[in-house]
Amino acid sequence: MSTISFDDFLKVDIRVGTVIEVSPFPEARKPAFKMKVDFGPEIGVRKTSAQVTVRYTMSELLGRKVAAVVNFPAKQIGPFLSECLVLGFPDAQGAVVLVDVDRAVPNGGRLH
Protein backbone atom coordinates (compact mmCIF):
# COMPACT_ATOMS: atom_id res chain seq x y z
CA MET A 1 0.00 0.00 0.00
CA SER A 2 1.32 3.43 -0.86
CA THR A 3 1.05 6.44 1.42
CA ILE A 4 -0.82 9.63 0.53
CA SER A 5 -0.54 13.20 1.71
CA PHE A 6 -3.18 15.00 3.72
CA ASP A 7 -3.93 17.04 0.58
CA ASP A 8 -4.67 13.76 -1.23
CA PHE A 9 -7.10 12.81 1.55
CA LEU A 10 -8.86 16.16 1.26
CA LYS A 11 -9.58 15.46 -2.41
CA VAL A 12 -11.99 12.70 -1.37
CA ASP A 13 -15.21 14.41 -0.24
CA ILE A 14 -16.91 12.05 2.24
CA ARG A 15 -20.20 13.33 3.62
CA VAL A 16 -22.95 12.05 5.87
CA GLY A 17 -26.52 11.78 4.62
CA THR A 18 -29.86 10.19 5.40
CA VAL A 19 -31.36 7.47 3.23
CA ILE A 20 -34.76 8.85 2.17
CA GLU A 21 -35.81 6.25 -0.41
CA VAL A 22 -34.94 2.58 -1.01
CA SER A 23 -36.12 0.31 -3.81
CA PRO A 24 -35.16 -3.05 -5.31
CA PHE A 25 -32.63 -3.11 -8.15
CA PRO A 26 -33.47 -6.34 -9.99
CA GLU A 27 -31.44 -5.32 -13.07
CA ALA A 28 -28.16 -5.28 -11.08
CA ARG A 29 -25.67 -8.09 -11.79
CA LYS A 30 -25.17 -8.64 -8.03
CA PRO A 31 -28.03 -8.20 -5.53
CA ALA A 32 -28.37 -4.50 -4.70
CA PHE A 33 -30.77 -1.77 -3.66
CA LYS A 34 -31.29 1.63 -5.28
CA MET A 35 -31.24 4.44 -2.74
CA LYS A 36 -31.70 8.18 -2.57
CA VAL A 37 -29.61 9.91 0.08
CA ASP A 38 -30.20 13.45 1.37
CA PHE A 39 -26.89 15.24 1.95
CA GLY A 40 -28.45 18.54 3.04
CA PRO A 41 -28.94 21.85 1.23
CA GLU A 42 -25.37 22.27 -0.07
CA ILE A 43 -25.23 18.93 -1.92
CA GLY A 44 -28.87 17.86 -2.11
CA VAL A 45 -30.25 14.40 -2.82
CA ARG A 46 -28.05 11.88 -4.66
CA LYS A 47 -28.91 8.47 -6.09
CA THR A 48 -26.78 5.39 -5.53
CA SER A 49 -26.91 1.64 -5.65
CA ALA A 50 -25.47 -0.50 -2.90
CA GLN A 51 -24.75 -4.21 -2.62
CA VAL A 52 -25.98 -4.40 0.97
CA THR A 53 -28.84 -6.87 0.58
CA VAL A 54 -27.17 -9.58 2.71
CA ARG A 55 -27.05 -7.55 5.94
CA TYR A 56 -29.87 -4.99 5.46
CA THR A 57 -33.52 -4.86 4.48
CA MET A 58 -35.05 -1.89 2.71
CA SER A 59 -36.88 -0.89 5.89
CA GLU A 60 -33.63 -1.00 7.92
CA LEU A 61 -31.97 1.35 5.42
CA LEU A 62 -34.78 3.91 5.26
CA GLY A 63 -33.91 6.81 7.58
CA ARG A 64 -30.40 5.48 8.28
CA LYS A 65 -27.38 7.80 8.32
CA VAL A 66 -24.69 6.74 5.85
CA ALA A 67 -21.26 7.99 4.81
CA ALA A 68 -20.57 8.40 1.10
CA VAL A 69 -18.06 9.79 -1.36
CA VAL A 70 -19.91 12.59 -3.15
CA ASN A 71 -17.27 13.85 -5.57
CA PHE A 72 -16.80 10.84 -7.84
CA PRO A 73 -18.23 11.29 -11.33
CA ALA A 74 -21.64 9.71 -11.86
CA LYS A 75 -21.44 6.07 -12.96
CA GLN A 76 -23.91 4.24 -15.17
CA ILE A 77 -24.84 0.88 -13.60
CA GLY A 78 -27.13 -0.82 -16.10
CA PRO A 79 -30.21 1.39 -16.45
CA PHE A 80 -29.34 3.36 -13.28
CA LEU A 81 -27.06 6.39 -12.84
CA SER A 82 -25.23 6.27 -9.48
CA GLU A 83 -24.21 9.71 -8.17
CA CYS A 84 -22.31 8.80 -4.99
CA LEU A 85 -20.56 5.84 -3.34
CA VAL A 86 -21.94 4.69 0.02
CA LEU A 87 -19.14 3.34 2.22
CA GLY A 88 -18.92 0.06 4.10
CA PHE A 89 -16.58 -2.71 5.19
CA PRO A 90 -16.73 -6.44 4.43
CA ASP A 91 -17.66 -8.66 7.36
CA ALA A 92 -16.07 -12.10 7.92
CA GLN A 93 -18.26 -13.56 5.15
CA GLY A 94 -17.56 -10.70 2.73
CA ALA A 95 -21.00 -9.04 3.06
CA VAL A 96 -20.98 -5.22 3.22
CA VAL A 97 -21.53 -3.59 6.61
CA LEU A 98 -22.19 0.14 6.30
CA VAL A 99 -20.06 2.74 8.05
CA ASP A 100 -22.07 3.80 11.10
CA VAL A 101 -22.55 7.28 12.58
CA ASP A 102 -23.02 6.86 16.34
CA ARG A 103 -24.22 10.38 17.21
CA ALA A 104 -26.66 12.85 15.68
CA VAL A 105 -24.97 14.95 12.98
CA PRO A 106 -26.55 17.15 10.31
CA ASN A 107 -26.78 15.90 6.73
CA GLY A 108 -23.89 17.13 4.61
CA GLY A 109 -21.25 17.06 7.35
CA ARG A 110 -17.80 16.30 5.94
CA LEU A 111 -15.56 13.56 7.31
CA HIS A 112 -12.43 14.93 9.00
- 38-65 confidence digits (pLDDT tens): 999 999 999 999 999 999 999 999 999 9
Residues 23-37: pLDDT tens digits?
999 999 999 999 999
Which domains does the chain possess? 13-98 (2.40.50.140)
Reduce the secondary structure of the chain to three states and give it as a string: CCCCCHHHHHHCCEEEEEEEEEEECCCCCCCCEEEEEECHHHHCEEEEEECCCCCCCHHHHCCCEEEEECCCCCEEECCEEECCEECEEECCCCCEEECCCCCCCCCCCECC
**Mean pLDDT of the region 67-79:** 96
